[in-house]
Amino acid sequence: MKLKRFFIEYRVLQDLEIYFGPSLKESKAFTDSPAYNLDFLVGVNGTGKSTVLRILFELLRLLERQAAINFPFELEYELEKVGLFKTIFISNRYQDLEKETIEYKQTPEVWEIDNNGNYNLIQLSSDILPDLVIAFTTGSESNWSTIDETNLDYITSPLPSLSPLDLAIGELPGKPLTPIDEEDDTSTTESKCIFISSSEIPLITLCGLLTDLVKPDKPLSKVREASKIKKLSGFSLKFRKPNSKTQDWEKVEELAKLTPKCLRIGTDYQLIFDLSDANLPHRLIETYYSGFELFKTLSQLAKPDKNGQTVLQSVNLFLERPMSDHPETDLDIPLLHLLDWLSDGEKSFLGRMCLLTLLETDEALILLDEPEVHFNDFWKRQIVYLLDTTLKKRHSHILISTHSSITLTDVPKENIMVLDRNGNYTNKSLKPSMNTFAADPSDIMVHVFGSPYPSGELSINRVEDELANKLKRSTEERKEALENLKDVVASGYWSFLIRQELQSLK
């Protein structure tokens, strides 16, 4: 899949038209022609980056269900079906000739655009929608996983009672301006639109590491190296029988056939999978056809019923760390670590990269809302590289909202959309004014994110105050103060100004 254009009017997003970047195949930055497409949404808090992702996810979910859509939109994208490319245009906007205005209706129309640019009206069906839409956010999750479309009312302007600060808070990852009630949606796992919650990260990690074990190219080798994990040595799954329906327990029994190790604790059954049996990962993946199908099965068993009870009670992953080369280490074998023992950053990094490994479909749309949260700067440098390693041969589109200057240095400026908020509304999507590929992150901080300086506010104010002599020091006092600053300020522009001022004082 390749997103081409998205027009939206929804809350803070008014007359916002986003043209996505060119295919990476067409980019001068890539000579090996990756099949996937990658774009970034950036902007300061409150510009609506997360809202764009959330509404795009909800829109495709409503189109899949052929439900009413209560806000104006236009969406154009490209699909590859059996080696053939087709361009799809969906819109619920139309021109009212009597009013001489652009109106919208709840039922959209669908066109296929041929090679000559002609629009041919077609029926809305699953065949012209992406094979898979995956969404993951680091913010509030309650308004992504299940949406009641009757609450997606078109609002022509931001609520006047909200302050600019409240409006900005409302646009943080996953947070709408007003709460949206959840519905009892039992069809989520059957839908092509799947939201990954943070509670499912252990299952995503498990299925991703199992997939890594069976693939000869070991797609997660760099991820495991960065996370200091040698391999997955085993795992356990605990199930509670009284909470299960007949069809759910049949799935548990199918899993139990794959391991002879089972502990019964009252009404709980704990299945233990020892991966010292090198064939066990292959049997697991083959039984469920893919790691992603295994994840969907386990995710369904972990989903609470109306009483809040789950069949899958807990999952434990036993991870082997590399042997330490510290001189005081006298262990003959490495210690096993539980997944829960890892830091939040390690679990987030490992889980999000495992998710990408599972997405084997060619026509996927992957929406990642600030995935770098909890990542250190070294891991932020790895995000696009690992995406490239995992998705290079797949015709999928990854759309990411981010605040990371480092991450943006791995894409050309044509694949970055900067959302510009003018007063109460965001109505512009711009490209950066500078070349971002392999750029210095500090330049991106200034020229893309609009920071006056790449350094911290406190340090800059301190240097500027001394250079301007705002404390009215004598010449000797100024020399002493500037000499002290020179000793602690890093080499570069500000250090040069300090040395220049000292020279003038002499």
User: How many of the other CB atoms lie within 10 Å of CB of 87?
Assistant: 17
Sort strands 73-81 and 231-240 into parallel, antiparallel or unpaired: unpaired
Question: In which domain, by residue range, is 300 found?
Answer: 198-340
| Main-chain phi, psi angles of 358, to 5 degrees | -80, -20
| 181 lies in the same domain as 215 | no
The CATH number of whichever domain residue 432 belongs to comes to 3.40.50
Give percent of the chain above pLDDT 90. Answer: 46
The predicted structure's pLDDT at residue 8: 93
Query: How many domains does one find in the chain?
Result: 3
| 204 lies in the same domain as 242 | yes
Residues 203 and 278: beta-carbon distance below 8 Å: no
Cα–Cα distance between 501 and 468 in angstroms, integer?
A: 10
Q: Looking at per-residue confidence, does 340 or 44 come out higher?
A: 340
Q: Looking at per-residue confidence, does 238 or 137 come out higher?
A: 238
| 434 lies in the same domain as 462 | no
The predicted structure's pLDDT at residue 503: 92
Average pLDDT over residues 421-441: 89
pTM of the model: 0.82
Whether 348 maps to a domain, the answer reads no
Q: Looking at per-residue confidence, does 119 or 323 come out higher?
A: 119
Helix (H) / strand (E) containing 87: strand 84-96
| 36 lies in the same domain as 170 | yes
Average pLDDT over residues 104-119: 91
| 501 lies in the same domain as 413 | no
Cα–Cα distance between 400 and 486 in angstroms, integer?
A: 40
pLDDT at 184 over 60: no
pLDDT at 207 over 90: yes
Please state, rounded to an integer, the average pLDDT across all residues of the chain.
Answer: 84
H helices of 26-163, in order, are 49-65
Give percent of the chain above pLDDT 70. Answer: 86
The predicted structure's pLDDT at residue 183: 41
| 263 lies in the same domain as 158 | no
Q: Looking at per-residue confidence, does 429 or 373 come out higher?
A: 429
The predicted structure's pLDDT at residue 461: 92
| 163 lies in the same domain as 45 | yes
Q: How confident is the model at residue 323 (pLDDT cuts 50, 70, 90)?
A: low
The predicted structure's pLDDT at residue 186: 45
pLDDT at 367 over 80: yes
Cα–Cα distance between 266 and 264 in angstroms, integer?
A: 6
User: Which of 221-230, 261-270, 461-470 is the least confident region?
Assistant: 221-230
| 228 lies in the same domain as 134 | no
